[in-house]
Amino acid sequence: MDLEAAWAAGQHREGLAWCLERLRQTPVPDPLLLRYALEFALELGQEEALLHFPDLSHTPPPEVQALLSQIAWQRGQLSQALELAQQAYRQSPCFLTAYALATAAFLRSPQEAGRWLREALRQAEAAGQPQRAAQAAAALALLEVTLGAYAQAEVWAAWGVRVAESIGLKHPSLRNALYMAWGYARILGGRLEALPPLETKHPEALLAQGDFWLAMGQAEAALGAYRAMDDQLPPIRARRLPLLARQVRALLELGRLEEARALGLEARVLGAETPEALRDWGELAYLMPLSLANPSEAVEPLAELLGRFLRRPSAPRAAMTALYLARAYLSLGLAARARATLAEASWALEGLSPEGRAFLAGSAAFFREVFALLEPAPRLRLHFLGGEGVWLEGAPLQLTPRQREILVALVLNPAGLSAEQLALRVWGEGGRAEVAKAEVRRLRQRLNLVMSRPYRLIGRVWADFVELRERLLRGSLQGALALYGGPLLPGSDAPVVIEAREEISALLKKTLLSQGAIQPAFELAMQEEDPEFWQAVLAQLHPGDPRRVLLEARWQRFWSAV
């Protein structure tokens, strides 16, 4: 039997039986059979039957270690999961060990998880395994949702679906994961008009289906899906907590406050002594109805919970908590505190569509005053960190590279620039005022927010490169990292862009190193050609850290090419 093909085809029951039959006939178990037997068992929820297998209790092969790491993670044994995954990757860098390391690192650092998922994707593509590339794409899409990058999440999910369709992938839970990620990206960043095609015999699909029903305004159907999943779950407290929070949210949508409070109390009690990232689901389930029934009692613990979500970060949960906390403050007549709360969580809220806000918090009828505080939206939005997106009043605007450089110059000089000053900043020493005037005329035909004498922008303008700098200066490193998508207009050689790009890079690197944010510093080091920064990051990584392998290899490639 081609075991990888059986996995991709969703023939997990047949594959497990085939592997077990041969393992019983062999005095020395084949590591490949062990690996696939455990992976099939994991897909079927039957891993317990294999955990006492002799070769699993001593020194299992690296890919088996990677799967054992995922089992430990599901049980909430996070330290053990991370240790197993690190050992597995050090012994055998491959798709499965990198993927396990991403899973184990997720609760510690979503950015670190993203790095390992991209490494897993690279390994899958190098090995010619499109089915595993689709698996990595699904995980990357769900991770981008966690980070609030909903457009990127939709791109990864759509690409993964395309890969899956091109190879005829039948793996049911993987197809579910791709459609789930696509659905969440659509809910939070736009609008979901129809249910994605999920196979709901799998528990995780029931959870997503409930979320999708809730987003489409069918709270009763959502509650039914959540309860059906609750009936299928094994009695593991940590796994129930996110589900209980969702049931509370659906009950609040239905106006059943007392039921929601009772279920929220159950979630809080069950969450005691579980890992913080999971325990916080129980806290959220408890505090949502409390904030409606007794806002004065809820504001302090909600503020503490919001702080944890902002540090982690977890964009949807941070946004959800901020919306409930803001509503509680408004109920107490504390509008200034409500505004401050929304400003603090702005990085988690800014990518949400109105439908996304309503999905996380509740309908506009209950949160109208809170949603009003989030308006008005900027007329012009510039997403230039690692990209070139321009949005005018919510619609994408196509501009030339030179016009985008002019916008950078005008945003960084809000008081305005003369034609000569603009020419110097955009074209450099050889720039001419006549050329600058002609280019601005063409820009004004597309964008009516550009004024003259001096050249300047009017109306509310939001630029990611300005917002990132402000977040760093006020100490919000996690908020800045959530915003940073790469260098400012990477292909530009305009003096104003180069100067701003270098300033942002230097400020970000200094902040990362000074705060000991090793994983984000490692992420940035892997993206930039900066040997001095590589050295600084390597100095903070202990000798056994698997991240050294990737960074040292990058160092060697750089110097061999010099």
What's the pLDDT tens digit per position in 201-232? Answer: 777 888 999 999 998 889 999 999 999 988 88
Strand 380-383 and strand 395-396: the pairing is: unpaired
Query: Tokens 């999920």 — which residue?
Result: 198
Q: Is the pLDDT of residue 298 over 90?
A: yes
Number of neighbours of residue 538 by Cβ within 10 angstroms: 16
Retrieve residue 300's tokens. Answer: 């302090």
Residue range 109-125: average pLDDT? 92
Whole-number Å distance between alpha carbons of 548 and 90: 10
How, if at all, do strands 456-457 and 450-451 pair? antiparallel
CB 520 within 8 A of CB 512: yes
CA distances from residue 77 to 115, 274, 331, 469, 546 in whole angstroms, order as listed: 22, 9, 40, 37, 20
Helix (H) or strand (E) holding 160: helix 150-166
**What is the predicted pLDDT for the residue at 55?**
57
Residue 120 contacts by C-beta under 8 Å, 6 or more apart in sequence? 95, 96, 98, 99, 102, 132, 136, 139
Q: pLDDT, tens digit, for every residue of 308-365? A: 998 877 899 999 999 999 999 999 999 999 999 999 999 899 888 888 998 999 876 6
**Cα(467)–Cα(348) distance, integer angstroms:** 13
C-alpha span between 78 and 71 (Å, rounded)? 10
**Are 100 and 70 spatial neighbours (Cβ–Cβ below 8 Å)?**
yes
Looking at the chain, the whole-number percentage of residues with pLDDT higher than 90 is 56
> What is the edge-to-edge ordering of all strands in the sheet holding 461-463?
395-396, 389-392, 380-383, 461-463
Q: What is the pLDDT of residue 543?
A: 84
Q: Which of 97-101, 428-432, 452-456, 526-530 has the highest mean pLDDT?
A: 97-101
Beta bridge partners of 382: 390, 463
How much is the average pLDDT of 538-558? 84
Question: In angstroms, what CA-CA distances link 26 with 3, 34, 297?
Answer: 18, 11, 63
Position 195 confidence tier, pLDDT thresholds 50, 70, 90: confident
Under the banding of pLDDT at 50, 70 and 90, the label for residue 127 is: very high
| Secondary structure (DSSP) of 460-485 | -EEEHHHHHHHHHHTT-HHHHHHH--
Query: Please, are residues 124 and 97 in contact by the beta-carbon 8 Å criterion?
Result: no
3-class DSSP state of 535: helix
Banded pLDDT at 562 (limits 50, 70, 90): low
Helix (H) or strand (E) holding 450: strand 450-451
Mapped onto helix, strand or coil, the DSSP state of residue 417 is strand
* 410/556 Cα distance (integer angstroms): 41
Report the pLDDT value the prediction gives residue 111, as an integer from 0 to 100.
Answer: 84
Rounded mean pLDDT of 283-302? 96
From CA 156, how far away is CA 167, in angstroms rounded?
17
Backbone angles phi, psi at 363, to 5 degrees: -65, 160
What is the model's pLDDT at position 199? Answer: 85
d(CA 139, CA 86): 19
Average pLDDT, the chain: 89
- With CA atoms as reference, report the closest residue to 189 among 216, 220, 158, 154: 154
Which tokens sit at 379? 């007329």
